Structure 1
Amino acid sequence: MSTIKSARVDRRGALVHSPAGFSDFTAFTTASPAKAEILAVFIGFIVVWTFFYTVTEAPVPVKHDMTEAYAWGQEFQLGYHQHPPFWAWLCGLWFRVFPISPMFFSALSATNAAVGLLGAWYLLSCLVSGPRRVACWALLLLTPLYTFYAYKFDANIIFLSIWPWTLFFFFRSISQPGLSSALGLGVMVGLGLLSKYYVFLPLAGCFGAALVATSGRRWLASCWPWISVAVALLTFAPHLVWLVQNRAPPLHYLGSKLGAPWPDVWHRALRAEGGLCGMMLGVLAIVAGLTLLTPRGARTRVCALSRDQARMVAVLTLTPLVLTGLSALVLKTVVMDEMMIGVVPLAPLLIMQFFPGCPPLLLARVSLCGAIVLNIGAVVVAPAYAYWRVAHQHGWLRQVPVQEIAQEATDLWQRHVPAPLTYVSGSFILDNGAAFYSPAHPHSFVSHDFSQALWVTPQRIREHGLLSICMADDMICLQRAASFATAQTQQLPVTLSHRFLGYTTNPVAFIVVITPPLAH
């Protein structure tokens, strides 16, 4: 790091003169780092976690939600069967630029988390400064939200990057009302709406946070929120038109998830809520521990936030937790574990409010040291963890060899059909998985169902043919593949295993169904 302004902060958080030669690390915890230093930190984060994800996930196929994002992103639709399109668009654009490989999926996940951490850094600047800002940011990094949980790039994980920037423009709109803040907030809300309708729950927290603060109520009474709403609706409008034209498939999908059994509803809701709270226990332990270890006379009694700010932070952090649990119970739907992990970037700051005696400089140093150790440890531990997954996890032996069957089925198509492979379908995870892993990168015809893949039509299947990859015991897949059969259709049995570091998984039997184009 380059040298930062020579200053330090005492145990109470006050700036005092620093002697010459004071370390760059200490300067980073006490002053505002330069943009070049911030950029270096976030590039380093991307490199570290791209490496970690690439190495630790090498023994297994890319997660289903991620191959789904890739398959959808190929099509650039205004909407999809389950969700709005923004996160799939990002994935599609990413792989227009970078090679289609698991390593660059890891890089996409790490970049998404880094963009969110950058947003959190600027968001915190609206509320705190100096060592408190560094401490809150480093504590956020010490949770698994932006590291270990960030790999699964999907409609939930995209909020790691979207929501901190949404809150940044929200706070800036209240503290510095103006056109640029209103436009920024509107665009970010629009992108949230284009990612997942779940965004309405944390958005309710923004409305509640504005109500509990004097400046927020003044903002609500002005024209600026309406400008933000107009921009958000304009951003969301293309998808809204698509919803009307296609009879709102995502809403039908949501309807299919309602009415789940009560044991499943309670179990998943408690697991999601408890899991998120559990992730914050480390932050609580650090802040509370440092407070207890600090002599009473050395403790600061200056609260980091004003009363209005503290109320806003509490409402913004707790509203998604409360409303997510309530919606699960009211709608009898199963809550996914990762739903809330992207919408609580202010949780460490909220925890710090309960411990005003914690010395901010000491907390910043400890938290930043912890973040550095975490990143170094991730690099060091990654190869050992990858080996452990293969050598000692019995579940690894039962995995489906998605990459191998995608390659083998593509080879079979090319040997039997004198036409390029354009459409692929199959059993769950195999359709989108084959779209990603096949060298031909065909379009995914999800579950042989036109309603789930609106970019596919019967005419296109007749013109280009269809490759179906079914598990040998998946009768539903085989029946659906048979519904597209012609006189030239072939069924070829294939049995494959996945190999990694000299270890081999249990063999899996497949049926590859090749239906050539009618012209051939």
Structure 2
Amino acid sequence: MTPATPLHPPHARAPTQHSARVHTVGLVLVHALVWTLLQSLAQGNLDSYHDMLENFAWAQTFEWGTFKHPPFFAWVVGMWFAVFPTADWAYRLLAYTNVAVGLWGVAVLARRLQLAHLAPTALLLLLWALPYTTLAAKFNANSQLLSLWPWTAVALLTAIDSRGARGWAWHIALGLLAAACFLSKYYSGVFLVGFLVVALTRAEGRRWLLSPWPWLALAVFAIALLPHLAWLRASDFATLGYAMDQGNGDTAWEALLKFGLTPLVYWGLAWLACVAVFASVQQARTQRRWLGGLAQGLWVSWRPTGWDDVLFWLAVLPGGITLLFGLAGAVELSTPWSIPIGYAFSLLWLRNLSQDAGPDGSKKAQRRLHRAAWPVLALVVAVGLAHGWQRAQQGHPDHYRPSEQAAQDVLALWAREVPGVPLGWSGGAWADNALLAFYADRQIRALPGLPDVSPATLAPHADWATQGGVLLCPLGPVGAQRQSRDITRPPQVPSTGYSKDPDRCLADMRAWLQTQGQATEPVTLRVVRQGWRFPRQVPFEYAVFFYRPAVTPAAR
């Protein structure tokens, strides 16, 4: 059996490791800045599902939970925009800063596994994978885990080896990082369950489990979760209800298959590039046929060195445990959940292929991969800009959606129609209405749906009745087909997801305003995006309802 990878790096570091670290830092920072700029130029808006506006709305107040997700990533958004301006470029910079922090964690993990010499190439390969590039642009609960999971793995491996003051620090860090993972997305439970397997597979891990130290980390984890658990109880377990809606007890075979194939889609190009380059080096060294070397490399890249192979278990357990839960019908798997699972993939491929190729072959293969880094990045920029230009020429709605201009126009409309009354809150379509707070005035409180109806009541805006408010119903591009329905019938339980059902939004807003003794007819705004990035005229319409407070500030 091949000896397992040691957990601990040598205390003395070779001088070449310093230059490798500098190269790694430069590689990550350049990619983060390039992707931030590229997304800002090629994409006309934030994500089409409004996840990022939703995050910003949740971040307006500090809460221990939301009606959909645990709150950690919203806290991150709140802290970020306490420093940065509310602009698309700043949000994208947050998204790729999150990537950079995660890649830094992967580099530290490589040192913990005595694989520091592979770290620059491992990070380069991750930068050729979708979760760290295109998918990372949408900062949400899934992408938040890109930064948290690697560092939590580092904390586990370091804690197992630490005692005394260092042990206290790392076990507290392990508990806090594990809590941050769980408070970002409950799905992190499968990642944390895998830690038990990682510990059990090694002798020092088993000794650690029998010591008091894991209980310290577990106690910190539990204490950090207590406020969220109290919030859950007070909110009738709203977040858990949303999570439980993701499955009905039956095995969703189609979703299971999609999740199983997702790693091939998300990391496939990076994996194939890595294996192909090593196969070409092996061909020159051993006269082995390239296709045969490629086929062997595909298997070798995933091969464990033994049952106590820490790196192998870190790489395969998150996806494997997820598939088991999906097979059992505990949940219907969603492909975006796989975004954080591959943080250790490239390290595993490189370690295994390097062992097969030998030191000289490994160095040669890694040099070839790094020579491709800048041409690939240049190609990415060219393709990204071409994609943005194509969307602009085709009049793609996501590109032309005039969120920022609409926010400014709605604010100007309010000042004209209700002079002297500050606009205090926005409701209606969620999370579309948060565009007012993000693009126009961050003091405007964005509410999901209606201010006195759940889920807005989970984080109530106490003064809504005495403040001015608008209810926003985006009607979409002018001329786009809309769902036909009878908007005169009494609405059912008010919804928040009105983006694709504007008629339902109009009906619910009218019904609610009638109960408040307010005017029920909206003003329809037509907004057109202009500028060199928007050569076509693609008008969008928004229905704006006004809530005028019975007691205005001037009358008090």
SS at match of 1:451: coil
Shift of 1:42: 3.8
Shift of 1:209: 1.4
Q: Following the alignment from structure 1 to structure 2, what is the Cα–Cα distance between the partners of residues 309 and 47? A: 40
Q: What letter is aligned with 2:347?
A: L
Task: Tell me the residue number matched to 2:406.
Answer: 405
Q: Does 1:468 align with 2:471?
A: yes
Q: How does 1:188-337 map to 2 (within 5 A)?
A: 188-259=177-248, 265-295=252-282, 298=285, 307=305, 311-331=309-329, 333-337=331-335
SS at match of 1:424: strand
**Pair 1:322–1:505, CA change in 2 (3 A):** farther
Task: Tell me the residue number matched to 1:340.
Answer: 338
Q: Choose which of 385, 407, 415 in structure 1 pairs with 2:387.
A: 385
Q: Which moved more, 1:472-481 or 1:224-233?
A: 472-481
Q: What letter is aligned with 2:522?
A: Q
Q: Following the alignment from structure 2 to structure 1, what is the Cα–Cα distance between the partners of residues 255 and 439? A: 32
In 2, are the aligned partners of 1:64 and 1:429 still within 8 Å (CA)? Answer: yes
Q: Which moved more, 1:276-285 or 1:197-206?
A: 276-285
Task: Tell me the residue number matched to 2:347.
Answer: 349
Q: Choose which of 121, 128, 135 in structure 1 pairs with 2:107.
A: 121
Q: Following the alignment from structure 2 to structure 1, what is the Cα–Cα distance between the partners of residues 98 and 542? A: 35
Q: Does 1:448 align with 2:412?
A: no
Shift of 1:390: 1.2
**Structure 1 gap segments, 5+ residues each:** 1-26
In 1, are the aligned partners of 2:468 and 2:549 still within 8 Å (CA)? Answer: yes
**Pair 1:332–1:222, CA change in 2 (3 A):** closer
Q: Which moved more, 1:269-278 or 1:105-114?
A: 269-278
Shift of 1:309: 8.1
Shift of 1:513: 0.4
In 2, are the aligned partners of 1:435 and 1:441 still within 8 Å (CA)? Answer: yes
Q: Following the alignment from structure 2 to structure 1, what is the Cα–Cα distance between the partners of residues 154 and 444? A: 40
Q: Following the alignment from structure 1 to structure 2, what is the Cα–Cα distance between the partners of residues 199 and 44? A: 29
| Percent of matched pairs sharing the same residue | 25
**Pair 1:468–1:297, CA change in 2 (3 A):** closer
Q: Which moved more, 1:351-360 or 1:222-231?
A: 351-360
TM-score by length of 2: 0.79
Shift of 1:519: 0.8
Q: Following the alignment from structure 2 to structure 1, what is the Cα–Cα distance between the partners of residues 442 and 350? A: 52
Q: Following the alignment from structure 2 to structure 1, what is the Cα–Cα distance between the partners of residues 527 and 326? A: 40
In 2, are the aligned partners of 1:127 and 1:309 still within 8 Å (CA)? Answer: no
Task: Tell me the residue number matched to 2:90.
Answer: 104
Task: Tell me the residue number matched to 2:497.
Answer: none
Q: What letter is aligned with 1:414?
A: A
**Pair 1:266–1:422, CA change in 2 (3 A):** farther
Q: Which moved more, 1:239-248 or 1:359-368?
A: 359-368
**Pair 1:127–1:479, CA change in 2 (3 A):** same
Q: Following the alignment from structure 2 to structure 1, what is the Cα–Cα distance between the partners of residues 460 and 206? A: 51
Task: Tell me the residue number matched to 1:515.
Answer: 547
Shift of 1:478: 2.2
Shift of 1:205: 1.3
**Residues paired across the two proteins, number:** 489
1:49-92 per-position Cα deviation (integer Å, ceiling 9, x unaligned)? 22122112236667511111111111111111111111001101
Q: Following the alignment from structure 1 to structure 2, what is the Cα–Cα distance between the partners of residues 255 and 291? A: 44
SS at match of 2:142: coil
**Pair 1:297–1:459, CA change in 2 (3 A):** closer
Q: Does 1:81 align with 2:67?
A: yes
Q: Does 1:436 align with 2:423?
A: no
Q: Which moved more, 1:352-361 or 1:498-507?
A: 498-507
1:346-375 per-position Cα deviation (integer Å, ceiling 9, x unaligned)? 112223455332332123223333333333
Q: Following the alignment from structure 1 to structure 2, what is the Cα–Cα distance between the partners of residues 239 and 112? A: 23
Alignment RMSD: 3.2
Once superposed, which parts of structure 1, at least 4 consecutive aligned residues long, lie more than 6 Å away? 302-306
Shift of 1:254: 1.7
Q: How does 1:41-190 map to 2 (within 5 A)?
A: 41-58=27-44, 64-177=50-163, 178-190=167-179
**Pair 1:440–1:207, CA change in 2 (3 A):** closer
Q: Which moved more, 1:312-321 or 1:151-160?
A: 312-321
SS at match of 1:89: helix
Q: Following the alignment from structure 1 to structure 2, what is the Cα–Cα distance between the partners of residues 112 and 475? A: 38
**Pair 1:308–1:326, CA change in 2 (3 A):** closer
Q: Following the alignment from structure 1 to structure 2, what is the Cα–Cα distance between the partners of residues 136 and 458? A: 47
Shift of 1:333: 4.4
Q: Following the alignment from structure 1 to structure 2, what is the Cα–Cα distance between the partners of residues 305 and 215? A: 23
Q: Which moved more, 1:59-68 or 1:360-369?
A: 59-68
SS at match of 2:393: helix
**Pair 1:371–1:220, CA change in 2 (3 A):** farther
In 2, are the aligned partners of 1:79 and 1:239 still within 8 Å (CA)? Answer: yes
Shift of 1:387: 1.0
Q: Does 1:479 align with 2:515?
A: no
